[in-house]
Structure 1
């Protein structure tokens, strides 16, 4: 069906409330009432792992027009524009700045409207000024109310269920990866930062590792506070910073920009292909650490594992590339890059003009590291980390397939090109 024949309703016709956010900045507090901020809305999800709070007085001021409730939709007006999420059950919150709340009418499926707002048909209306053919920097309330949403009354709930099934599977994989990474980080920190096994042996505690792992560790800490027989060295004995790689200018190669790096988790976005000009260079097994403010403070870090074998990728000049030296497992560079104490050192080392401060590589190379006296310790650690990161990579690859399927089906469902039954069969192949 052609775009001009798609049956539509406007957002104003589908919603009982279209409410702009209050135009004042709330007082920020360490706890209290949750304020949804634009940074909490990404890829269609409300992420409150790093929530922001305000006090009761400002919360009450911000909910005078409407208090968000389960099934409401929050859409960002700018910085960035057009990000959407559903308000889940059990979350008491208020809108932040540059946001609009949509409350669908009782006869409108909120999940369908949520899906439709992410379709190309609707996003084109959000991002483009039809009168000038140019992009817009923000979306005004009258324009938002006039946005046309495709209507398929008999199938809307089924369309939403089909798309959200893919979203839910991706969310499940993401949560699984967060758990797996937590296990890997806890293992590394216990062995090489907190020296848990050594302290337990010294205290005469019962072993909490398998006998073959328990035997890797000495019986006590030495006078420097490291396991007896181990050395206290600098991190550059274990990690190579910004290793040299060769790429020919003008040659196409996998490319990652700063936006590709996650703030949580190890997986970067799928790389684009660009002709090399200048920038950091990396291989599979390297860790990428943002060195510039605010990206470093926000946690932008990745473990590179999606390149073709022996391929060299390139990216932002604002990456610090960290590569484990043999026999240190490659994942260790990433685990160190995520370690809170290491990151604290990186942040404290920053210098430069306001807004353009960068971490010092010299400060990071000099970071203290405990080095085992037996290479077998690294080999055993690698045998434990490999399956964890293999599963993380497999889940991330599956999510890419799920996202591609979602992006393929959503516009076809919205345009009527395919029906729900056909879409459900496609979902069964990948979910």
Structure 2
């Protein structure tokens, strides 16, 4: 049986549309799904609102999402897709469509992978209608979009292979979450709750510390503009610790159109920074080097710059890795270049992710067309600096954790790249399934 069987979306699934309005949002109840919840083939329900049971009945007249349905965006964020999980009560959000696979012809998991394949994403790009305000695909044309569909047994083998990669990616994510929780627990104990100091004030041995480390912490809290802090510790603004605080710029359409060289410099936006502090390489846009080194030269990033989102989604934080040295960014992202990166980077990075500075950023937001934070607000953020011996100890502990997190991120990028390279070859039958199955085992 041939792998190269081309069918259409209409041959293997029914297409449904979501509502064209937004109901009143409430604190709990059925989910009103959002296209922002579609991220890298997964559904992130934390980005979706809730609606009442009465509104749910109204908004599901066309269709009620079921487990195994494929959710997708047909306006903005084109190409994003996710599978509807089991046990969730929800309705489609605005600009969201749904494919209900005919399971006698196609497995839902296979349809999800096939939708994400380069071949189908190219079809989406070719069929995109570029409007004045948003890009979209016409739902009435979607059933005619071609898609590669091998027989069901081969679909299952392909799904099993690709899910193996996804399981490892999930494991890496869970490992990083555990490492992050460890780092946050240490940071909160030392720099927020002052646990070691308070223990010594009560005549107790600080939990989890030997006598040598405990001796580094003072036995007294003193008043400061931030409230009680350990004796001998200092408060410094991020500006005072920085060589440069700036933000990016979006190149004009005119400049882009007049550039004679091809886009080659990666360009970071807020959407490319996730909540775990990773810069997502897979979908970074690019700009011409001629613009990067002239119009946008003030925002050329260097390795170990700290990024902080100041517009739209406020407070995303990341560190520029070695492989992203000499990239650029837009005006929604501020960057902080510390004077002494080796000494202050681990502390400042973690402090900017911690609740106190995140809340200070939120309280400083200026509401306009888009919520934004000024560079002055970023520079005025205050960091609590311990004496050098405690700072060195923190740097040593956190740097090792941070390196493990970065290694897992890097491995996940490699696995995702390998999976995405395999995907079109598996779908087309270019690679023998038996060989891949044996290799995975």
Smaller-chain TM-score bracket: 0.7 to 0.9
| Residues in 1 aligned to 2:128 and 2:330: alpha-carbon distance in whole angstroms | 34
Report the alpha carbon displacement of residue 40 of structure 1 after superposing the two structures with TM: 0.8
Q: 1:75 to 1:427 in 2, by over 3 A?
A: farther
Q: Deviations over 1:245-300 (max 9, x none)?
A: xxxxx9x9964321563131122133768523324233332211122x2132xx43
Q: 1:70 to 1:33 in 2, by over 3 A?
A: same
Contact 2:39-2:81 within 8 A present in 1 as well? yes
| Residues in 1 aligned to 2:128 and 2:59: alpha-carbon distance in whole angstroms | 33
Q: Does 1:264 align with 2:278?
A: no
Instruction: Normalising by structure 2, report the TM-score.
Output: 0.83
Contact 2:128-2:135 within 8 A present in 1 as well? no
| Residues in 1 aligned to 2:29 and 2:53: alpha-carbon distance in whole angstroms | 7
Q: Which residue of 1 aligns with 2:391?
A: 378
Q: Which residue of 2 aligns with 1:294?
A: 312
Q: Which residue of 2 aligns with 1:303?
A: 319
Q: 1:414 to 1:259 in 2, by over 3 A?
A: farther
Report the alpha carbon displacement of residue 360 of structure 1 after superposing the two structures with TM: 2.4
Alignment of structure 1 residues 280-429 onto 2, 5 Å: 280-291=299-310, 293-296=311-314, 299-307=315-323, 311-326=325-340, 328-351=343-366, 354-355=368-369, 358-372=372-386, 374-424=387-437
Contact 1:257-1:316 within 8 A present in 2 as well? yes
Q: 1:49 to 1:388 in 2, by over 3 A?
A: farther
Size of the aligned set, in residue pairs, is 409
| Residues in 2 aligned to 1:185 and 1:237: alpha-carbon distance in whole angstroms | 24
Q: Which residue of 1 aligns with 2:256?
A: none
Q: 1:261 to 1:9 in 2, by over 3 A?
A: closer
Structure 2: 5+ residue stretches without partners? 248-260
Q: Does 1:74 align with 2:71?
A: yes
Report the alpha carbon displacement of residue 418 of structure 1 after superposing the two structures with TM: 1.8
Q: Which residue of 2 aligns with 1:247?
A: none
Q: Which residue of 2 aligns with 1:198?
A: 197
| Residues in 2 aligned to 1:323 and 1:193: alpha-carbon distance in whole angstroms | 24
Q: Does 1:184 align with 2:183?
A: yes
Q: Deviations over 1:113-153 (max 9, x none)?
A: 11111122222332223999xxx932233222222221211
Structure 1: 5+ residue stretches without partners? 245-249
- Cα root mean square deviation, aligned: 3.1
| Residues in 1 aligned to 2:269 and 2:383: alpha-carbon distance in whole angstroms | 28
Report the alpha carbon displacement of residue 51 of structure 1 after superposing the two structures with TM: 3.8
Q: Which residue of 1 aligns with 2:230?
A: 227
Report the alpha carbon displacement of residue 390 of structure 1 after superposing the two structures with TM: 0.9
Q: Which residue of 2 aligns with 1:36?
A: 33
Contact 1:239-1:333 within 8 A present in 2 as well? no
| Residues in 2 aligned to 1:48 and 1:131: alpha-carbon distance in whole angstroms | 28
Contact 2:264-2:288 within 8 A present in 1 as well? yes
Report the alpha carbon displacement of residue 206 of structure 1 after superposing the two structures with TM: 5.0
Instruction: Normalising by structure 1, report the TM-score.
Output: 0.84
Q: 1:334 to 1:39 in 2, by over 3 A?
A: same
